[in-house]
Chain A
């Protein structure tokens, strides 16, 4: 099976003011694989993830060097429209953040403002089914999304990202606010999603990274210490720091 790089992170540095949050990270993201980014709190994982769909644009003090290529075109060139980038690279956040609207509107809003064609009802149903939420909400699509449980809300947020039919889905610790049962459901979901989507997931949870991902990158203090096939990183890491971290001796 040939593996093509969909997103190429090349020597990227990200600063908040004078503070260097991500230092010279070079990392390929393979198509239709799950790449996990692990590391201790404050190591720059989320910052790096947010740079992949230009969510750092909203932080004024944030600046970036290096190059990120999406299908070999520069993600940060002057001719790249960040709105278009975010349409094609979706994101799921750490805490479930549904819109305070109906379940249906939560899914349909993105496709409708972007003028995506097709039957909207079908699109909503498809997204909810992909996110394994359809059976629980099919009879109350017009209810407020805020009445759902935390785990359901997070699956709704995944469905909202899926409805855009993005090429890549970025997930920023999507299970950190959830109980173990909800977490397990979302992990199952990731396996199904990687058939069609490229996923980059930031996680604090070592077992989760080991279970779900194909590739793992380990970051510490903004530096990428190790990157490789997940099994290798967890069973025979090359770097001593990685070994200490994945075996739980620090962090």
Chain B
């Protein structure tokens, strides 16, 4: 019975396991593989021999000679292709007289074993022959069958060619360290902002009033709406030329020139002669992050608040504790558990976030985080290997965090 139960359990879990191994664990490992390979985006199309068939000569009557010509080309400029074989059907009514010695005809089936061709190879393969009446009456008979070429080529993805160039280039670029710094600013302030806003909102909603259900639903809007919708709305709202927000600021005389919230790297100012920079675009992106994810912390904190026993507050009230003292000495310690769990989770998810920054700024104006850099290297610069190298860095940093968190986090509650 026990054994049967065990096998039943494994059977029921098998599909889940399979899909997670295939789509999550597999790619995680594959990343390490790709990161040590010189793979470009274009390499994903394996090298093949391209072929183009045409008829030369103008046969007019039966018995005239004609040439069937195959133009062949290696699509890759730096990979050879081995065991190249061309197969085709000779058009009806064409009888070959001479052909290259590596070709043979069996009935109408033509087979040419071309062998190994080097990178950038081009050639013409000619079949001389005569035509019969049936060939002449048919409309373009050579088009009836498509020639097929097969061959083996090294696939960069599966070859055993390794390089550490991706990592070398990554770590030696100045840009990488600024990307790392931006990532941490974004993660820490984005997480902190969402948490503080969530705590504030939860305080507001922890009292009963008419329309509370409605306001709570409204507060969750930023979180449940699709990221593309809210990100583009922010972009339109804060546009420096036609955005409502900038027009409002300039028309009402708050600022003299429109502010390019998502496009300006930094605002310079000085305090007591000390020149300082305020990272504008990064701050706007962080504000978006806090705006979009405060509903989540709000929900969790509110749920926790409503489960706190009210006797404690009554006792504190009797002892003359002021509202701020009650919040500081009673509510906050009770909320510490959920706050730290939320901080850990949101910290990791913010660190993983790609969509938001990519849609808002595309990683420009000093907002490029590690995740955006993966896209930038792998797809915008078409260097898959370099992108995978950044992805490996992301993963390693993440594992470090996760280990630290698991070691030092308080016992989680309800999560």
Mutual binders A and B: no
Which B residues form the contact surface with A (CB < 8 A)?
none
